[in-house]
Amino acid sequence: MLDDPNIAPHFALLQIHVDDEYATTWGNVRRMFYNIPGVPSAWFDGVLSVVGATSYNIALTIYTAKYNMRHALSTNVKMSITGVQESEATFTIRANVFLESGPTRVMRLNMAAALDHYPASPSYSRWCFRQAATTQDVVLSAGESYIYTRTITFDSASWAEPSDIRVAAWAQTPNAPGPAEVFNSAVLTWPFGPDCNANGVPDSDDIADGTSQDCNANGVPDECEPQEDCNGNGVQDICDIAGGTSTDYNGNGVPDECESLGDLNCDVVTNFGDINPFVLFLSNFGLWQTTYAGCNALNGDVNGDALYPSFADINPFVALLTGEG
C-alpha cells in the first residue's frame, strides 16, 4: 500500500480451513491462488507470506514483524462497508471503494463473511471463513469511487451468533495467481450501522467527513430527512428550524410561517391583530368560537401541548409575535 499518508490501511483477518471438516470450495480456491504448500501459512496484504510455525511465540514474532511492515505503509484507496437488513438473515452489503489520488488503478473487489470464535474446537477459532460473494473488477481514476454491492444470507451457524459475524471487503490487484497486493480493506461488525443513503458509508462517517450535512444534529444525513421546503426559500424546513431561520413553537417540524399558529382571527396571518382574539380565546372560549366561527382552535395551542385554551400559551404567543424564543 502506498501514495497517500492521509488514508490509513484497515486490518481485516480471515482464517481459511483446508484439509479438515471446515474446508470450503472457496477456501480451496484461495489455497491454490497463493500456492500454499502447507499449514499453517499466512499472507499479509497478499504480498508477504510466512509458511509453517515451530511454536506459537516464534510465529507471533514473525507474524507481528510482517504485519508491522505492511501497516506502516499508506494507501491511496479508501474503503468503508455497510450492511442493511432485507429480511431475517439476508442483508445487502455495500462496500464503498474510493481512489483518492495517483494513477488509474485496476482492482478486484472481494467480499467474504466470517464467524468469530468458530469453531469452538480446536483452538484456532478466530474469524473463520464461512461464505464468499462474487468478485467485481473495477477501474478507478483519481477522485472516483465505486459501490460494490452484494446480497448475503448468513448461514445458520452465523445467524445463531450474529454478534460474532464479520464481513470483510478488500481491493486487490487482479493477479492470477498470487502474490496480489491488497490496497485496503473494510470490516463490518455487528450491529450494522445505518446507511440511509445507500452509499456504502455509515451515516456517522458521512456526517463526520462532511459528505453529508446534519443541520439538526440528530445523526441522520439531511438528504435522508423530509425534503419539504414550505416557505420556498431553498432550505429544508428542518434546517430552517434548526438554524433559527424559522420558529416551530408547537414542535411539529413545520415552520410556523407555514401554519396558522397564533392566527386567532383567521385572517391567514399572525400579527398584532391577533392579540385581542387571543385574549378572548383565553378568557371566553365559547364567545371566541362564536365570533370566529370555523377558526381552528389548534391555532391557539402555540406551545403544542394539546391543551387549549391555556395560559401556558401566553409566553409562546408573545414570542411568536415578537420573533423571539
* pLDDT per residue as tens digits for the range 222-260: 999 999 998 899 999 999 999 999 888 778 888 888 888
For residue range 82-115, list pLDDT tens digits in order. Answer: 999 999 999 999 999 999 999 999 999 999 999 9
pLDDT score at 1: 38
Phi, psi of 92 (to 5 degrees): -90, 120
Q: Match 387571543 to its residue by C-alpha cell.
A: 278
Phi/psi for 318 (5° steps) reads -60, -45
Per-residue pLDDT of 282-323, as tens digits, reads 999 999 999 999 888 989 999 888 899 999 999 999 988 887
Residue 325 has pLDDT above 90, yes or no: no
Q: Which of the residue ranges 33-42, 115-124, 160-169, 304-313 would you say has the lowest mean pLDDT?
A: 115-124
Helix runs in 42-178, H state only: 56-71, 156-159
Higher pLDDT, 303 or 147: 147
pTM confidence score: 0.80
Single out the residue of 90, 100, 200 nearest to residue 148, CA to CA.
Answer: 200
Which residues are CB-neighbours of 145 under 8 A, at least 6 positions away? 96, 97, 98, 99
**pLDDT at residue number 292:** 94
- Residues 6+ positions from 21 with CB-CB distance below 8 Å: none
CA distance 265 to 269: 9
